[in-house]
Amino acid sequence: MRLKKVEIQGFKSFADKTEIEIKNGITAIVGPNGSGKSNISDAIRWVLGEQSVKNLRGSKMEDIIFAGTSKRKALGYSEVTITFDNKDGEIPIDYTEVAVTRRMFRSGESEYYINKNSCRLKDVRELFMDTGVGKDGYSIIGQGRIEEILSNRPEDRRSIFEEAAGIVKYKSKKEEAERK
Ligand code: ATP
Ligand code: MG
């Protein structure tokens, strides 16, 4: 499984539709301060279901929608799609390519899609559970997170190992069953 494309439209500083292709090997994103590098990783976490405004460096969810500039009007919605190569079948769905989309309007409602089929956030979460991908997965390590991994309480570190071991799915199903 490999992230191959990120499409961003109306998310933070990305007013125009922007397509970022990620080739094999290492990709680095460079640019001056404030040019939108971190906004790209925010977009990836957001499409995977990030609900914490603070984690997205805003004060309200609406802050992730392009707010306009002196030359350009604000936009009404934000849409991000990330596409994975799934030829190895690591994402448990019968497609060799998996595209996840999130769209949000200023009213605050989010819509989620897996390969253009409307779905719930829960479906997106479940699809990536135990793959390491996800808003809290170990595939996205933000500034400060390294310290957290090294020095936090053992209970917190344990969740990273649980995801790597592939048991989060079963744990979450067990918890869900116990609540019923
Ligand atoms: P640094 O090198 O300092 O880390 P960076 O390239 O990571 O910079 P970002 O933090 O990704 O930069 O981008 C910040 C820019 O995004 C700021 O100029 C800010 O005005 C802009 N921005 C954030 N939210 C919005 C929004 N809703 N609408 C328009 N622009 C936005
Ligand atoms: Mg940055």
Rounded Cα–Cα distance for residues 44 and 37 (Å): 12
Question: For position 155, what pLDDT does the model report?
Answer: 80
- The atom number, within ligand 1, closest to the CA of 13 reads 30
Task: Using the atom order of ligand 1, give the atom closest to the CA of residue 66.
Answer: 28
Q: What is the pLDDT of residue 63?
A: 96
**Domain 2-120 architecture:** 3-Layer(aba) Sandwich (3.40)
C-beta of residue 127 within 8 angstroms of C-beta of residue 115: no
H, E, C per residue of 61-118: HHHHECCCCCCCCCCCEEEEEEEEECCCCCCCCCCCEEEEEEEEECCCCEEEEECCEE
β-bridge pairing 97-105 and 117-119: unpaired
Give the residue whose CA is nearest to atom 23 of ligand 1: 12
What was the pLDDT predicted at 77? 98
Instruction: Identify the pLDDT of residue 22.
Output: 96
- Residue 43 Cα to ligand 2 midpoint, Å, equals 13
Please give the pLDDT value at position 144.
67
Looking at residue 137, its pLDDT comes to 78
Task: Identify the pLDDT of residue 116.
Answer: 98
- Classify the complex by whether its ipTM is higher than 0.95, answering yes or no: yes
Query: Residues of the chain whose pLDDT is less than 70?
Result: 144
Q: In the chain, what are the domain boundaries?
A: 2-120
104 beta partners: 78, 110
Q: Which ligand is nearest to the CA of 37?
A: 1
Residue 54, annotated as binding a ligand: no
